[in-house]
Amino acid sequence: MRKICIAVILICTLPLGGCAKSITHWMVNLRTSQGDAALLKPSLPEAKKEFELALALDPKNPHARAGLAKTLTLLAHADFTNSKLDEASAEIAEALKYAPNDAAALALAGEIDQAKIRREIVVANYPLYGSISSALKPVFKEIVASNVEVEKQVKLFSNDFDTSHLTRAIVESYDLEDEAHRMAQRLIAYRGLVQSGETKAVAPAAAQAPALLPIP
């Protein structure tokens, strides 16, 4: 009698096990398809979440692993482009865990490694790198603002055909040209200082970024 009961229990549980596997398979497919759709938008954070959920259900799923690797590579590329070197390095390292032989991921990893090496050299040889870089940012903003103003005046002329707008655009263009020239000269000086690995001590007043990179 006991053997019969055990057999009945086993028979009853077999369909349940098969059903559970089917549900898991369906959920994994759903997550990977949603991950693919998010990549097409593109919405990289959403894609990353979907592929990670799929892998939580099926860690060896090739579709989910490839999708997550691609997503992480794209995230790393975006962070690398936006000067977020440490974030990019972490993301590409994770991507290679899922796709160790992916050509795009390997190429980007090489670029990031080289950038990190160059950063260490620059920071070690030129301690004022950070302050100089910060000093240049306002100048970039001024150039962008001038460019926007030129576009604005040209657009206004297209609306009312008042040539005073074109006059203003011309003036702003000359200012923009001057600002761009000054920026170029400062960048040339900046590059020279970094490349030379200048480490000589300077007087406190001369240590300010604008003094090191004078505007011509």
Angle among Cα 34, 35, 41 to the nearest 5 degrees reads 90
Q: Where does the pLDDT of residue 192 fall: very low under 50, low under 70, confident under 90, or very high at 90 and above? A: confident
**Phi-psi map region of 102: left, alpha, beta (phi>0 left; psi -120 to 50 alpha):** beta
Per-residue pLDDT of 48-72, as tens digits, reads: 999 999 999 999 999 999 999 999 9
> How distant, in Å, are the alpha carbons of 64, 86, 106 from that of 70?
10, 18, 12
| Chain segment 133-186, per-residue pLDDT in tens | 667 777 777 788 888 888 888 888 777 778 888 898 888 888 888 888 888 888
Look at residue 73 in the predicted model and tell me its pLDDT. Answer: 96
Q: Which amino acid does the sequence have at 114?
A: Q
Task: Compute the average pLDDT of residues 74-86.
Answer: 92
Query: Scanning the structure block, which residue is given the tokens 């989910």?
Result: 64
Tell me, what's the pLDDT at 7? 41
Res 67: pLDDT: 94
Rounded percentage of the chain residues whose pLDDT exceeds 70: 75
pLDDT computed for residue 211 by the predictor: 43
What pLDDT sits at residue 143? 80
- Predicted local confidence at residue 131, as pLDDT: 63
> Residue 46: its pLDDT value, please?
95
User: What number of helices (H) and strands (E) belong to the chain?
Assistant: 8, 0
